[in-house]
């Protein structure tokens, strides 16, 4: 499957488009400004993200306004289930519909790739994200336990 390149979308003075690795520092600045926990010495290293964005199953979108990254949403899939990750919006752009537009674009691209199940993992403390995804029609599954096995603790 080849990754479809789309023309950037302009909405309310901002553009939703594919992330470019040359913007890595701006992405980390966005995540810091949005209060999104990340692992810049682990899974979120420039090297790791650079590798990921070239996979056919990866969708790395950002929202840009006047040359500044103001939002992000990433998606991946394994051929049967899609995942939405790294949804972040700078505080001054929250409640503007930007996060919804980013998530809807990731959902559209996953659906276009033949993915019928889309999921996200949200830590219990992140009540704002829980409410956001519930408003978008996502169903919480309290009967699921999440397990990980990590090669290193900071990845």
- The model's pTM: 0.87
Q: For 39-60, b where at least 16 C-beta lie within 10 A, e where not — what string?
A: eeeeebeeeebeebbeeebbbb
Residue 145 has pLDDT above 70, yes or no: yes
pLDDT computed for residue 39 by the predictor: 85
Domains of the chain: 9-135 (3.40.630.30)
What is the average pLDDT across 113-132? Answer: 93
What percentage of residues in the chain have a pLDDT greater than 90? Answer: 77
Residue 2 pLDDT greater than 90, yes or no: no
140 pLDDT band (50/70/90 cuts)?
A: very high
């Amino acid at each position: 499957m080849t990754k479809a390149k789309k023309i950037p979308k302009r909405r309310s003075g901002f553009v939703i488009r594919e992330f470019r690795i040359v913007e890595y520092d701006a992405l980390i600045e966005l995540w810091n400004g949005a209060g999104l926990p990340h692992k810049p010495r682990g899974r979120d290293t420039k090297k790791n993200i650079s590798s990921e964005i070239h996979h056919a199953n990866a969708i790395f979108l950002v929202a840009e306004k006047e040359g500044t990254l103001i939002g992000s949403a990433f998606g991946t899939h394994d051929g049967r289930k899609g995942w939405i990750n790294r949804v972040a919006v700078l505080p001054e752009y929250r409640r503007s519909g930007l996060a919804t537009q980013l998530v809807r674009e990731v959902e559209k691209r996953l659906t276009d790739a033949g993915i019928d199940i889309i999921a996200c993992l949200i830590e219990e403390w992140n009540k704002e994200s829980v409410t956001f995804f519930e408003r978008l029609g996502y169903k919480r599954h309290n009967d699921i336990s999440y397990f990980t096995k990590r090669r290193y603790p900071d990845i």
